[in-house]
Structure 1
Amino acid sequence: MTVSPPKPPGIARWLDLMRLGPQNLAIIRSSTYLLVFLGVAKISGAAKEIVIASAYGTSALVDAYALQTALAGWPVALFTMTSGVVFIPLLVRLSRTDAERARAVFRTLLGWASVFGLVCAAGCGALFWLFSARLGYHSAFRQMGLLVAATIPFGILSAVLAARLLAARRQVGTLLEAVTPLVIIAAIAALSGWLDGTLVLGFGTLAGFVLATFALAYAQGGAASGLLPNLAGSRDLASQIGTAMLIALAAQMIFSLGGTVLDQIVAAQLSPGANAIVNYTNKALTLVTSIAGIVVGRAVLPVLSEAALSGSAAATRLARGWSLTALLLGTVLGALLFINADLVIGLLYERGEFSRGDVAAVSRALRAGIGQLPFLFGSLVLAQWIASLRRFELLLLANVAAVACKVAMLAIFIGSAGIEAIFYATTAMYMTSFGVLALFAFRRQPITGRDR
């Protein structure tokens, strides 16, 4: 009888953590669906950009539309990123323990999301109107701004509806992200000969958001009365998520400011063209990191939240295995990108005025930033684990430490390493984030979650 050689302790521990139980299989299944649905949504978004470019080129209309959609999308994006980590664990816990209360809390979430969305829409619409008048744009641009601002309540309501689907492990919300760009494409194809371009883009974008919101509502199933916004349970909701929402928002804002915002500020102090190199490099990295963030957040968090109902130890064990797996996947992907950096950057950008010299400069920056991928992937899993236990103060602690580390690294090395120092500092930021969260995840006595 042959005896297999013993596995190294670290590998044996990882294999033990990653045994294909129902929870690990659920994460794998959700990740597979997400990658397919996300591919459809991304392709639809890219097709929308191609159609807009073909129809309107680089005109003032596209400039105004890009600015308006970027500004209108900011409160929606911030709300979506923050609310996901707060709402999903709450909805998972309540749906498993008190279904009636879960429905009431969900209606209250819809109520306050509606209020927040309407306030943001009014403020954004007024801003667009004043800016359009100040810049001398004619009334059609102002009308387009009002239509784009009107998308904000629907975007915020969609975030709440999508969170409920994710809490039920239903990934169809990701597929429905393709609705808005497809409607915009249809509007350009059908209305360009009949309406001014400002109205085509404005009405097309608003119609896309409205249809996407109704599609998400339809996907909920059940009676329509369960989707009526209601503010009656506001006190109960505030006790559930009030402090958590504020802490999660602070953590998200700190980390976002320490990311591309800080990169651009520092690059502006360097040689001419540094900002462009940093921007191109970050966009290339975002192609990977944004997909990873979406897949991890939407596939892992609902399963971890369910595991947390059985106790902190169950969720911690699951998070340990997947954080190490994510670390390994990030290392493999980083190695492939490092080897093929010139090819990737060339395929993405090398055309027109973007020369081979520009490819070389951006490739050097990309290789300097690839070290962040393993730690980013690993920390994404651990951040979802923290969210499942509702210990958002630990996430805030990790983010503050990570951004402080990046600032210190930049202060020390920016003079000697130049542009590459920005990406080395980003790697140090994610390494610090992973290290702080891992201290809590891998300690002998797991941290406990919050009941409320």
Structure 2
Amino acid sequence: MIAQIAAWRSRLSRLHPDHLRIARGAIWVSAFVLLGKVAAALREMAIAYHYGISPVVDAYQLTFNLITFLPAAFVVGLQIMLVPTLVGLRTRPVGEQARFLGELQMVALVFGSVCATVVLVAWPWVLGLFERNLSGETREMSRAMMMTMSPIGILMMTICVFAARLQARERHINSLLEALPAVVVLLFLVVSQQGNSPAPLMWGTTIGFLLQAAWLGTLARATDGVQTRFFFSLRSPQWSRNYRTVGMFMLCQLVLSLAVPLDQYFVAGLGDGAIATLSYSGRLIALLEGVGAMAIGRATLPVFSDIQSSGEPARAREMALKWSFLMLGVGVLVTAIVWPLAPTVIKLIFQHGAFTDANTATVAHLVRWSLAKLPFYFAQLVLLQLFASEGRLKVLAGMAIVCFIVKALANVVLIQWLGIVGIVLASAASAASAFAYHLSIMGWDRHVRTVTSSGKRKS
């Protein structure tokens, strides 16, 4: 036993320090995300206790998902571009950093405002798409929620900028502060005496995002020491290097994010209660994704970017491949553990008040099928960070298109056979296609390098 421990210590001591940086970052992010997801689970318990599977929950989930899907699409693309850019910016003069960050904050504010305006203007038409499938009560509550929750899109864009500044410095406290909206909603529900009123949900969510943005801004300025002000221009050299590719990638991310309203459309066709069922299931899956995939993704991107800036792309690729297959195995292990425990976990978290035994069985069944996504999602996220650190956003744009096509086709086919289960299996198929896509690109890159080096030797 002692010899085995000594052997493991010796093996760990031979690991490259960058592996330890990733592991340390992943542990911190996992801890923060776990705390955040616990807060989210407590919020869901409170929602289940107050509302069960009811039109209030349907209206809230529909409104929140459709308000956030547009800014969320661009947040993903922006963060993938920002972290490598900000890692490289650390060596530049403070004035250059302040200029770029000031321009970036203005872009975030303007774009968030545009997103909020587009959603507000389009909302009557959007609700019209669901008219035949949702009750009049649900649609009316959604209209009321929309007016209160519309600033969330603006706040999400500013939060993205502050979080990227922290992540570029390998500070992961932003993962913990993502729990603030859930905590505020939970507090509103605990003190609420308004019965089935949607007010605690919509006001708690909006105020929570506002607090998150304010807190992150304070921490970002304290961490990088850069004081910024808004600049109404795009004169920083960082824009000219990236804007064409970033624009294309963010457009493709927008296409991929259409999977969210696409799911809402298909699920709404199954009648009242279906959106709430998918939401409760999604909360548990989001917990697992957050603790695993989000942790490794946020931990690897700044490290891979640092390695790339040091001129060692081959070492970054080797590390990414090892971590990707490690996370594939972790996903399989998590699936094997959670599958038999799903009914017990759902009962423990949600079965209170208006949430019944039948609701527990329905949600647990959906959770089990949702687990098929985890191994592929964990693995592909590591490779995504590698390509992002290399600045290969065209590759990621292609991935977004492939994933959306697979998701849309799988939704159309599987929901006819399997109902709501088809939605989550379509998500698993999309994640698997992303993993296969990344591996094929890496294989092609290796082939090109081999042919190129062979040609050089012959010449």
Alignment map for 1:22-101 (pairs within 5 Å): 22-50=17-45, 67-97=62-92, 99-101=94-96
Aligned residues, how many?
A: 426
Map Cα deviations across residues 330-352 of structure 1 (whole Å, 9 max, x no partner): 12222223454555566567762
Code of the residue aligned with 1:431 in structure 2: it is A
Question: Corresponding residue for 1:387?
Answer: 388
Question: Corresponding residue for 2:377?
Answer: 376
Code of the residue aligned with 2:298 in structure 1: it is R
- Check conservation: 1:263, 1:278, Cα contact below 8 A: no
Query: Cα distance, 1:391 vs. partner?
Result: 0.6
Looking at structure 1, the residues matched to 346 and 333 of structure 2 have their Cα atoms a distance apart, in angstroms, of 19
Looking at structure 2, the residues matched to 342 and 193 of structure 1 have their Cα atoms a distance apart, in angstroms, of 31
Does structure 1 residue 173 correspond to structure 2 residue 168? Answer: no
Code of the residue aligned with 1:377 in structure 2: it is F
- Check conservation: 1:129, 1:145, Cα contact below 8 A: no
Q: Taking structure 1 as reference, are residues 207 and 400 closer, same or farther at Cα in structure 2, changes over 3 Å only? A: closer
Q: Taking structure 1 as reference, are residues 226 and 58 closer, same or farther at Cα in structure 2, changes over 3 Å only? A: same
Alignment map for 1:110-259 (pairs within 5 Å): 110-125=105-120, 145-185=146-186, 204-222=204-222, 226-234=227-235, 236-257=237-258
The alignment's TM-score, normalised by the length of structure 1, stands at: 0.74
Q: Taking structure 1 as reference, are residues 23 and 97 closer, same or farther at Cα in structure 2, changes over 3 Å only? A: farther
Question: Corresponding residue for 2:358?
Answer: 354
Residue range with higher mean Cα deviation, 426-435 or 165-174: 426-435
- Check conservation: 2:26, 2:295, Cα contact below 8 A: yes
Q: Taking structure 1 as reference, are residues 389 and 121 closer, same or farther at Cα in structure 2, changes over 3 Å only? A: same
Map Cα deviations across residues 44-91 of structure 1 (whole Å, 9 max, x no partner): 334445556667888987766555444333333223222111111111
- Check conservation: 1:183, 1:205, Cα contact below 8 A: yes
Q: Percent identity?
A: 27
Looking at structure 2, the residues matched to 205 and 418 of structure 1 have their Cα atoms a distance apart, in angstroms, of 30
Question: Corresponding residue for 2:300?
Answer: 300
Code of the residue aligned with 1:117 in structure 2: it is G
Query: Cα distance, 1:432 vs. partner?
Result: 3.1
Which fold has the larger relative contact order, with Cα–Cα distance below 8 Å and residues 6 or more apart in sequence?
A: 2
Looking at structure 1, the residues matched to 96 and 54 of structure 2 have their Cα atoms a distance apart, in angstroms, of 51
- Equivalent residue of 2:178, what SS? helix
Map Cα deviations across residues 95-117 of structure 1 (whole Å, 9 max, x no partner): 23555423321111101111112
Map Cα deviations across residues 323-374 of structure 1 (whole Å, 9 max, x no partner): 1211121122222234545555665677625178747xx64x6555544432
> What are structure 2's unaligned runs of at least 5 residues?
5-9, 450-459
Q: Taking structure 1 as reference, are residues 316 and 273 closer, same or farther at Cα in structure 2, changes over 3 Å only? A: same
- Check conservation: 2:31, 2:291, Cα contact below 8 A: no
Query: Cα distance, 1:149 vs. partner?
Result: 1.9
Query: Cα distance, 1:388 vs. partner?
Result: 0.8
Query: Cα distance, 1:398 vs. partner?
Result: 3.2
Code of the residue aligned with 1:177 in structure 2: it is E
- Equivalent residue of 1:444, what SS? helix
Code of the residue aligned with 2:25 in structure 1: it is S
Looking at structure 2, the residues matched to 97 and 357 of structure 1 have their Cα atoms a distance apart, in angstroms, of 56
Code of the residue aligned with 2:91 in structure 1: it is R
Map Cα deviations across residues 281-316 of structure 1 (whole Å, 9 max, x no partner): 655544423443321331111111111112322321
Looking at structure 2, the residues matched to 330 and 201 of structure 1 have their Cα atoms a distance apart, in angstroms, of 32
Question: Corresponding residue for 1:289?
Answer: 289
Code of the residue aligned with 2:446 in structure 1: it is R
Residue range with higher mean Cα deviation, 250-259 or 73-82: 250-259
- Check conservation: 2:97, 2:226, Cα contact below 8 A: no
Query: Cα distance, 1:423 vs. partner?
Result: 5.9
Query: Cα distance, 1:414 vs. partner?
Result: 8.0
Q: What value does the CA root-mean-square deviation take over the aligned residues?
A: 4.8
Residue range with higher mean Cα deviation, 388-397 or 64-73: 64-73
Map Cα deviations across residues 6-53 of structure 1 (whole Å, 9 max, x no partner): xxxxxxxxx999963221111111111112211222233344455566
